[in-house]
Amino acid sequence: MDKSDGKDYKKKGAVSIQKMNTGSRLDYRAEADWMILYKDEKPKAEMFYVGYTAVDEKEDENGTGRPVTFVFNGGPGASSVYLHIGALGPKRVELTPEGMPQAPPYRLADNEETWLEFSDLVFIDPIGTGFSRTMQEDSGGSGKTGDAAKSSTGADAAGSAGADKEKPDNEYWKLNRDLESLSEFIRKYLSKYNRWESPVYLAGESYGGFRVGKLVKMLQQDYGVGLSGAVLISPALEFDLLNSSDYDVLPWVDTFPTMAGAAAFHGKSRKLKKGESIAEIRARAADFAVNELLPVLAGGDLISESRRVRVLNAAADFIGLPREKVRAAGGRIGIEYFVKNMLRAEQRVLGLYDASSTTADPYPDRDGFGSPDPTLHQLERVFAAGINTQLRAGIGLRTEKDYDLLSETVNESWKLDTKQHALDMKVGAVDDLRYGMSLNPDMKVYISHGIFDLVTPSFSTDRLTALMKLTPEQKQNLTVKHYSGGHMYYSWAESRKSFFEDMRAFYWT
């Protein structure tokens, strides 16, 4: 709390009029504030957001003729900082062309690829991330903001180091309650700013892409919000495909083309043909994974020894690992094993989130993967500096609270809302996406991945969308495209520019 004049500035938003000095040179209104969420007519949470609205003399103050895009990241437990100052917002962090940090101090620059050119933007921090918190009623009945979420700025939200032994039970850290809170926020925002006549879009990354897939049904069916479009960036669409074991098949198939592409990028794939592009070897690897590797993974010892050896040797050649290692694993090569061993002779490890990037292996003599991720962990400090600069100096927000980029506590405390049968654990978004597309035949959908992302591999989406049984008309509304880079492929300068151009066409057509 900033007590310089006896007021709690944490609950006071900030507004400024700024000029975008790139592209169309728009003036825009930047606002950072909190939206109160209620339950049983009582305040339950404060959801923080940053909105950017273009100022146009030809339109009313709120610009209702322009699209408005609601944006969030994933985790769960991640704030919206990555899409906010990494890709979509009017300011972005300065990185190398390959998306790596420059030397400190870290600075913001005008974003030439900001989506503000074609849409107003609202970046939402789910409860427990950024400045969003639950409210606990004291004996006097006034709302107090609770700091239940432990900040893990600079650490992976999925990590367990330093995690609390007892996980807090926060009602917003549940799958459906999280979606309901986002839906409530969007509906309140449309009313508060008179945007019900604006074209409404959603954009989410990673678990945020999963949220988008679920919300295209919930928002339209239960909250009366019609959608013009949905953008899913590096989404995790079906969670059973992210947990592999000795007894399943598809998770191993989905990561295989990414491994082959990464091996080719690093010059280690023994299947790479002269003059062949990364896209071409990925396509061959995908065909091989479905038509040759999959039956061997599914059949195990039911497959003849000669066939198993032939297929697994070919798999090893695609991904650049020793044949004997791949045969011993039965073709099931985990992503952590892959990034640890691809460049082990050079004492380098690859990134899980971007397997084209590398860093020095701090433990080259150990078998386990204990390295910092070259992209995720190295970028946290850059985004922490950037978002604090943008909110405090750029927009003028006054608060002494810490902005939580990633919360371990939120991630580790995530639950299902209802007690399901122990054998019924399927969690996915593709059914909701299909339902939403049927509910609104005019809604467009755009799904994209980075080709070097091992965490949410692009081939998983390629397969799943091919299984959606869409009509010819629905297929016209669905675009799937992948870009060079990893999970945050937009951190690559070339990919960010291509993505921006594709999004401008997506919104304008």
Helix (H) / strand (E) containing 229: strand 229-233
Q: Could you tell me the domains of the chain?
A: 13-239+379-508 (3.40.50.1820), 245-333 (no CATH)
Tell me phi and psi for residue 159, to 5 degrees: -75, 165
The type of residue at 387 is I
Q: What is the pLDDT of residue 62?
A: 54
Spans in the chain with pLDDT lower than 50: 1-10, 137-165
Helix (H) / strand (E) containing 64: none
Q: Are strands 133-137 and 143-145 parallel, antiparallel or unpaired?
A: antiparallel
Q: What is the pLDDT of residue 337?
A: 95
Q: What is the pLDDT of residue 422?
A: 57
Q: What is the pLDDT of residue 460?
A: 97
Q: Which residues contact 107 (CB under 8 A, 6 or more apart)?
A: 93, 94, 389
Q: What is the pLDDT of residue 425?
A: 64
Q: Is 166 exposed, middle or buried (0-12, 13-18, 19+ CB in 10 A)?
A: exposed
Burial per residue of 431-463, b for 16 or more beta-carbon CB atoms within 10 angstroms, e otherwise: ebbbbbbeebeebbbbbbbbbbbbbbbbbbbbb
DSSP 8-state class, residue 87: I
Q: What is the pLDDT of residue 152?
A: 39
With vertex at residue 360, the alpha carbon angle to CA 354 and CA 362, rounded to the nearest 5 degrees, is 115
Helix (H) / strand (E) containing 121: strand 120-124
Q: Which of 59, 98, 76, 57 is nearest to 493 (CA)?
A: 98
Q: Which two tokens stand for residue 363?
A: 């433990």
Tell me phi and psi for residue 284, to 5 degrees: -65, -40
